[in-house]
Amino acid sequence: MGKRTEGTIKSDETLLEILETLHSYERVSLTTIADEVGVSKSTVHRHLRTLQNRRFVTKIDDEYVLGLEFLRFGGAARERYSFHRQSKAIVQQVADQTGEFVGFLVEDQGIGTFLYCEMGTEGVPSEARVGQNLYLHQSASGKAVLAHLPADRREEILDEYDLPARTENTITDREELRSELAEIRDRGYATVHGEYVDGLKAVAAPAFDPDDALLGSLVVAGPSHRLRGDRFESELPDLIQGAVKEFELTISYT
């Protein structure tokens, strides 16, 4: 996601770009992968054969898909977060209460990643899913995290990734962002309106462990015609902050 690649190994970069391409398609041909990655078909084929031999890629007819071996790695990655089961429970609870999309986001190497997410009964289909990555400044969940990171860490992230726009409403000015992050710290939660997806609003609150270390954020998102007035300005912020307190209490006894 735009991270600088100085000092990296070119062949590894190529392999990872191939995997990213596979991830973005349900099925994809060797030719399409080569075109998107910008390398020869013979190079792509060698990488794919290596991945096939280790069950990270499966070939179906003349197309390729990610292999089930990634499930083992994905589960292990999530389980390194000691609170992952509690985050799943609170996400499901809030999705049931609101009927909207709910997610728990963590920061890893300056990028936000959904540890869990759940689509409520009224949730709007979107690209958001477990493992989805996003720039922290573009979303309510990311801003809730960014606002509560140490100042030096926050500036490191902004230096690394800058402030790319997702929509025309995304904040791309550092001073404007710093001002909003200060407001988020004061009120205890973040909101966005069309900064990540046009027409989508969201409310998010940060979550901390018993030692006040930042764990991530809990977010509710939905269409602007449903998230408006008192529901957006007071009901959802109160609900989210209450759910976070419940989550924090739960992990303090585990």
> Tokens representing 84?
């992952």
In the chain, which segments carry CATH 3.30.450.40?
Answer: 81-252
pLDDT of residue 252: 85
In the chain, which segments carry CATH 1.10.10.10?
Answer: 10-72
pLDDT of residue 2: 54
| Closest of 243, 149, 221, 148 to residue 188, by C-alpha | 148
Q: What does the DSSP 8-state code read for residue 129?
A: -
Q: Which CATH class is domain 10-72?
A: mainly alpha
Q: What does the DSSP 8-state code read for residue 136?
A: G
pLDDT of residue 31: 94
**Does the global pTM surpass 0.85?**
no
pLDDT of residue 158: 94
pLDDT of residue 21: 92
pLDDT of residue 131: 79
Per-residue pLDDT of the chain (254 residues; tens, 9 = 90+): 555 556 678 888 999 999 989 988 889 999 999 999 999 999 999 999 999 999 999 999 999 998 988 878 877 777 787 888 999 999 999 999 999 999 999 999 999 999 999 998 887 766 677 878 999 999 999 999 999 999 999 999 999 998 999 999 999 999 999 999 999 999 999 999 999 999 999 999 999 999 999 999 999 999 999 999 999 999 999 999 999 999 999 998 86
Q: Which residues contact 60 (CB under 8 A, 6 or more apart)?
A: 27
CATH architecture, range 81-252: 2-Layer Sandwich (3.30)
| Cβ-based burial of 190 (10 A; exposed 0-12, middle 13-18, buried ≥19) | buried
Per the rule left: phi > 0, alpha: psi between -120 and 50, beta: everything else, 131 is left
> Tokens representing 149?
């990171």
Q: What does the DSSP 8-state code read for residue 195?
A: S
| Closest of 99, 16, 30 to residue 63, by C-alpha | 30
pLDDT of residue 1: 58
pLDDT of residue 6: 61
Pairs from 2-5 (Cβ < 8 Å, separation ≥ 24): 2/135, 2/161, 2/162, 2/164, 3/109, 3/110, 3/111, 3/160, 3/161, 4/160
pLDDT of residue 124: 73
pLDDT of residue 75: 74
Q: Give the length of the chain.
A: 254
Q: What is the 3-state secondary structure (H, E, C) of 73-122?
A: HHHHHHHCCCCHHHHHHHHHHHHHHHCCEEEEEEEECCEEEEEEEEECCC
